[in-house]
Copies of this chain bind each other. A is one copy, B any other.
Amino acid sequence: MSESSKPSRTRAQQRLDTQERILGAARQAFAELGYEHTTIRAVAAAAGVNAGLVMHYFGSKEQLFTRAAQIETHELPPGEPAEALLSMLRSRLDDEPAASLALLRSVLTHAGASDDFRDSGRAWLSRVGEAIPHQDADLRAGLVTAIITGVIIDRHLLKLSALADASADDIVELLRPCFESLAGEHTTP
Contact = CB atoms under 8 A, between A and B. Distances in A.
Contact of A139 (B107, B149, B166): B166
A108 B114 CA distance: 14
Contacts of A154: 142, 145-146, 149
A25 B134 CA distance: 43
Interface stretch (A5-13, A58-66, A155-163): A155-163
9 contacts: A35-B109, A36-B109, A141-B162, A142-B160, A142-B163, A146-B160, A147-B150, A177-B182, A178-B182
Interface of A: 33-37, 104-109, 114, 117-118, 121, 125, 136, 138-143, 145-151, 153-154, 157-158, 160-163, 166, 170-171, 174-175, 177-178, 181-182
Given A106-B109, A146-B163, 14 more contacts: A36-B109, A105-B108, A105-B109, A139-B163, A139-B171, A140-B174, A141-B162, A142-B154, A142-B160, A145-B154, A146-B150, A146-B154, A148-B150, A177-B177
